[in-house]
Amino acid sequence: MENIIIFGPPGTGKGTMSEKISAEFGFRHISTGDIIRKNQKERTKIGILADKIVDGGNLLPDNIVNEMVKQELIDDKNSKGFIFDGFPRTSGQAKMLDQFLNKKGTPVTKVIHLDADKYTVQTRILERGKTSGRADDTVEVFGTRWEAYQKETVPALQYFEGRGKVDKVNGEQTIEEVYSKVKSIIDGNN
């Protein structure tokens, strides 16, 4: 079983790459952002909490996100692999996922870091915001999300770098160029 994590600042195309990987390789795409937005739409307790926290650009507490992801993994016993998009976002989440998957005998196999500078991703997010309808695609929220990424998510990425599992991809290229590199990493041709 393959377990692949996609890291990158907001706006680097993690969701796009995850969807392409899922379609081509048959891996289940787990997006915490999608799970949270579903809960927001359905007005669950997590959704109401997310309205206050996530829409302002901040992260939900680790314990809530960890339980959501664990449940997704437990509920899906037939997947030939998982692609994690937007998770883990903190070093605590990274450690939990690594330990949980190791206990199941299906460790993290690849970590792909889509790297891009702040200006590039901010421009992408503002363009996306013109059509996405997402409350977090604004200049104000982007600043908060960028800071959260630097403070919270970079340490999660470093957790996996310390284990020699990270492949870096230039996320400023076209979708086709990025996916070509990502596909070669998954195929083991990097």
CATH number at residue 83: 3.40.50.300
Q: Which of 9-18, 46-55, 94-103 has the lowest mean pLDDT?
A: 46-55
| Domain with 126 in it | 2-185
- Of 180, 176, 155, the residue nearest 166 (C-alpha): 155
**Confidence (pTM):** 0.88
pLDDT at 72 > cutoff 90: no
Q: How many domains, the chain?
A: 1
Q: Which residue has the higher pLDDT, 135 or 111?
A: 111
| Segment 7-21 mean pLDDT | 94
pLDDT class for 190, splitting at 50, 70, 90?
A: low
Return the C-alpha torsion angle 145, 163, 107, 66, nearest 10: -30
Is 54 inside any structural domain?
yes
